[in-house]
């Protein structure tokens, strides 16, 4: 209706303008007054329309104008959504009351991929409180758990507007620049700009943001290498409290040997020694063995012990290029653990490469990344130092010898099927916290180990069985023989061992 008003005034104005040419038909002073009024209305309408167009123009260009002004008169820092500082910054913004209450804000439910929106309290629920609530009223407990799982509402400043707020007495400008989404993990992509006339206050603000990121006692953060639109970057996918070494059951002195090796490597004097003799300060380990023997769990335990974050990369990614591989390794921070899981799936064996790959190409990744490209980022000229590398494989025999030669892989450890000692330790780990007499648990663990054959089942398989009887150690022992009989053909083990048991 508002849009049609100028057209109506134009029609009336044209009619009266024509009528003015015939004065004999319009002699009444009343008609002249009406004509003057409508003429004024026409003028005001034109003025208002022009003013509205001017406002619309400046509104459309306001972001560019403000960006130009801020560029000339302030210091600025930009944080891309691909930067590892972005998640804690977004969390800090959502928790800042002056920004959350701004007129230009939007509400957003927590996305399953928005790691910055994860509440640490969700992972720290008191075990005794949970047990009490569950035993008192199961349905009410489940209802509360469902409510906790609902996506929480977050308040964020809108994009495209310069929002100002005070931080430690200084005026700070914040501008969110929207970018097109790039992957399924990033439903949105952006660059956050912070502006201030004081450069040091920006550094202080970002330091506080980083403190928020590390406020928990060395929580282990997990990053995964992603590639989208020819851009490779590390994406934060999870953060967890450090896992206790006591929860990991391995054969022999594997854990102790690796811990001793890494501790020696991280000693500052070792770094000085490496530098003095001209040796790159890097360390590499190969973990091999059947699936479910604890290779990934071992990496998680070590990361917690040495205050490291874990960076994982799949070389089978169809989007990963050799230039992206170089960039993503160059972006690794110091004191980092890199985990290349199932490395055997990315490259053919030496024998396969000779027959399947055209001469002159060398071993070739199934995704187009050459083996030489990986070797260069691992220990070529300018390769990243001050990092610990773990490769895992289920089939060591399929690995190219160039990948595992000394200097690239310094230590190799086999994680195999559960031995009798490991089976007893797994049983004790499960049932010792129940408060049962220690001697009784030791006796039951021995009986359980006698029922479960050694070096047939993985630790993961045995744990799955014990979980079914987590509160009943006696039933676990009495059911073990039946479980072994039913599961022997399910869990893979060396054929010769199975034949020996059957005989």
Considering the domain boundaries, does residue 395 fall inside one? yes
Considering the domain boundaries, does residue 344 fall inside one? yes
- Residue pair 121/169 in contact (Cβ under 8 Å)? The answer is no
Question: 457 and 403, same structural domain?
Answer: no
Tokens of 89: 């910054």
Tokens of 406: 């000394």
Question: 97 and 198, same structural domain?
Answer: yes
Considering the domain boundaries, does residue 220 fall inside one? no
Reported confidence tier of residue 129, pLDDT bands at 50, 70, 90: low
Residue listed under structure tokens 């003013």: 51
Q: Does residue 28 have a pLDDT over 80?
A: no
Q: Does residue 248 have a pLDDT over 60?
A: yes
Residue listed under structure tokens 């064996």: 349
pLDDT tens for each residue of 383-440: 888 899 999 999 999 898 889 888 889 999 999 999 999 999 999 999 988 877 888 9
Q: Which residue has the higher pLDDT, 305 or 84?
A: 305
Mean pLDDT calculated for residue range 253-264 = 93
3-state secondary structure of 88: helix
Q: CB neighbours of 80 closer than 8 A, spacing ≥ 6?
A: 86, 190, 191
Question: 359 and 325, same structural domain?
Answer: yes
Question: 265 and 198, same structural domain?
Answer: no
pLDDT tens for each residue of 328-342: 999 898 899 999 998
- Residue pair 271/387 in contact (Cβ under 8 Å)? The answer is no
Nearest-angstrom CA–CA distance, 60 and 54: 10
Maximum mean pLDDT: which of 57-71, 93-107, 373-387, 408-422:
408-422
Q: How many CB atoms lie within 10 A of CB 26?
A: 16
Q: Does residue 119 have a pLDDT over 60?
A: no
Considering the domain boundaries, does residue 306 fall inside one? yes
The predicted structure's pLDDT at residue 482: 93
Which percentage of the chain shows pLDDT scores above 70?
Answer: 63
Q: Does residue 39 have a pLDDT over 60?
A: yes
Considering the domain boundaries, does residue 294 fall inside one? yes
Question: 93 and 41, same structural domain?
Answer: no
Reported confidence tier of residue 459, pLDDT bands at 50, 70, 90: very high
The rounded mean pLDDT for the chain is: 75
Question: 325 and 274, same structural domain?
Answer: yes
Report the CATH number at residue 299.
3.40.50.300
Question: 79 and 65, same structural domain?
Answer: no
Q: How many residues does the chain have?
A: 503
Reported confidence tier of residue 74, pLDDT bands at 50, 70, 90: confident
- The last residue of one of the domains, among 215, 244, 266, is 215
Q: Which run of H or E residues covers position 98?
A: helix 97-100
Reported confidence tier of residue 180, pLDDT bands at 50, 70, 90: low
Question: 319 and 262, same structural domain?
Answer: yes
The count of domains in the chain is: 4
Range of the domain at 162: 75-215
Q: Does residue 72 have a pLDDT over 70?
A: no
3-state secondary structure of 366: coil
Give, as one character, the DSSP assignment of residue 369.
-
- Residue pair 279/324 in contact (Cβ under 8 Å)? The answer is no
Question: 398 and 265, same structural domain?
Answer: yes
CA distances to 69, 161, 190 from 178, in Å: 20, 11, 5
Question: 409 and 374, same structural domain?
Answer: yes
Reported confidence tier of residue 257, pLDDT bands at 50, 70, 90: very high
How far does Cα 130 stand from its chain's mean position? 28
- Residue pair 353/364 in contact (Cβ under 8 Å)? The answer is yes
The predicted structure's pLDDT at residue 458: 92
Helix axes 438-451, 420-431, angle to 10 degrees: 140
- The last residue of one of the domains, among 381, 414, 447, is 414
Nearest-angstrom CA–CA distance, 453 and 21: 114
The predicted structure's pLDDT at residue 338: 95
Nearest-angstrom CA–CA distance, 399 and 349: 5
Considering the domain boundaries, does residue 231 fall inside one? no
The predicted structure's pLDDT at residue 308: 92
Question: 85 and 63, same structural domain?
Answer: no
- The last residue of one of the domains, among 50, 69, 88, is 69
Q: Does residue 472 have a pLDDT over 70?
A: yes
The predicted structure's pLDDT at residue 414: 95
pLDDT tens for each residue of 230-244: 788 888 888 888 998
Which residue(s) pair with 283 in the sheet? 388
Q: Does residue 365 have a pLDDT over 60?
A: no
Tokens of 378: 């691992």
**In the structure, how many helices (H) and strands (E) does the chain have?**
19, 13
The predicted structure's pLDDT at residue 217: 55
Considering the domain boundaries, does residue 123 fall inside one? yes
How far does Cα 467 stand from its chain's mean position? 29
Question: 395 and 246, same structural domain?
Answer: yes
Maximum mean pLDDT: which of 312-316, 378-382, 422-426:
422-426
| DSSP characters over 289-356 | SSTTSSHHHHHHHHHHHTT-EEEE--TT-TT--HHHHHHHHHTPPSSEEEEETTGGGTB--HHHHHHH
Q: CB neighbours of 384 closer than 8 A, spacing ≥ 6?
A: 282, 329, 330, 332, 377
The predicted structure's pLDDT at residue 56: 61
The predicted structure's pLDDT at residue 1: 44
Q: Does residue 353 have a pLDDT over 50?
A: no
Tokens of 150: 């609902």
Considering the domain boundaries, does residue 223 fall inside one? no
Q: Does residue 60 have a pLDDT over 70?
A: no
The predicted structure's pLDDT at residue 38: 64
Helix axes 438-451, 473-487, angle to 10 degrees: 10
Reported confidence tier of residue 34, pLDDT bands at 50, 70, 90: low
Nearest-angstrom CA–CA distance, 414 and 181: 42
| DSSP characters over 213-237 | HT-SSSPEEEEEEEEETTEEEEEEE
């Amino acid at each position: 209706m508002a849009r049609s008003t100028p057209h109506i005034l134009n029609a009336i104005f044209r009619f009266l303008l024509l009528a003015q040419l015939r004065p004999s038909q319009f002699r009444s002073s009343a008609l002249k007054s009406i004509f003057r009024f409508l003429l004024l209305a026409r003028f005001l309408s034109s003025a208002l329309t022009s003013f509205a167009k001017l406002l619309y123009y400046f509104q459309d260009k306001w972001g560019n104008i403000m960006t130009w002004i801020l560029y000339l008169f302030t210091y600025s820092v930009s944080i891309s959504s691909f930067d590892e500082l972005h998640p804690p910054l977004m969390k800090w913004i959502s928790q800042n009351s002056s920004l959350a209450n701004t007129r230009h804000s939007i509400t957003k439910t927590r996305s399953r991929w928005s790691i910055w929106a994860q509440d640490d309290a969700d992972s720290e629920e008191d075990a005794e409180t949970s047990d009490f609530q569950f035993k008192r009223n199961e349905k009410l407990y489940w209802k509360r758990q469902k409510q906790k799982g609902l996506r929480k509402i977050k308040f964020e400043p809108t994009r495209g507007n310069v929002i100002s707020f005070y931080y430690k007495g200084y005026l700070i400008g914040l501008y969110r620049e929207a970018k097109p989404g790039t992957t399924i993990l990033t439903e949105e992509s952006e660059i956050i700009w912070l502006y201030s006339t004081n450069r040091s206050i920006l550094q202080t603000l970002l330091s506080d943001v980083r403190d928020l990121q590390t406020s928990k006692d060395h929580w282990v953060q997990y990053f995964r290498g992603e590639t989208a639109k020819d851009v490779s970057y590390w994406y934060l996918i999870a953060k967890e409290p450090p896992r206790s070494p006591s929860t990991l059951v391995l054969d022999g002195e594997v854990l102790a040997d690796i811990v001793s090796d890494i501790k020696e490597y991280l000693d500052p004097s070792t770094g000085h020694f490496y530098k003095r003799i001209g040796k790159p300060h890097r360390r590499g380990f190969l973990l091999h063995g059947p699936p479910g023997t604890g290779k990934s769990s071992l990496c998680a335990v070590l990361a917690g012990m040495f205050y490291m974050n874990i960076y994982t990369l799949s070389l089978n990614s169809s989007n990963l290029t050799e230039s992206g591989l170089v960039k993503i390794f160059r972006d690794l921070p110091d004191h980092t653990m890199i985990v290349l899981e199932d490395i055997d799936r990315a490259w053919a064996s030496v024998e396969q490469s000779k027959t399947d790959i055209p001469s002159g190409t060398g071993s070739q990744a199934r995704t187009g990344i050459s083996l030489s490209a990986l070797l260069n980022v691992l220990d070529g000229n300018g390769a990243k130092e001050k990092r610990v590398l773990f490769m895992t494989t289920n089939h060591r025999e399929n690995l190219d010898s160039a990948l595992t030669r000394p200097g690239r892989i310094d230590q190799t450890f086999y994680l195999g099927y559960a031995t009798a000692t490991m089976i007893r330790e797994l049983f004790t780990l499960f049932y010792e916290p129940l408060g049962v007499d220690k001697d009784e648990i030791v006796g039951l663990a021995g009986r359980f180990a006698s029922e479960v054959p050694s070096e047939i089942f993985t630790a993961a398989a045995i744990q799955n069985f014990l979980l079914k009887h987590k509160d009943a150690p006696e039933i676990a022992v009495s059911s073990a023989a039946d479980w072994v009989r039913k599961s022997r053909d399910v869990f893979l083990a060396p054929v010769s061992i199975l034949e020996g048991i059957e005989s």
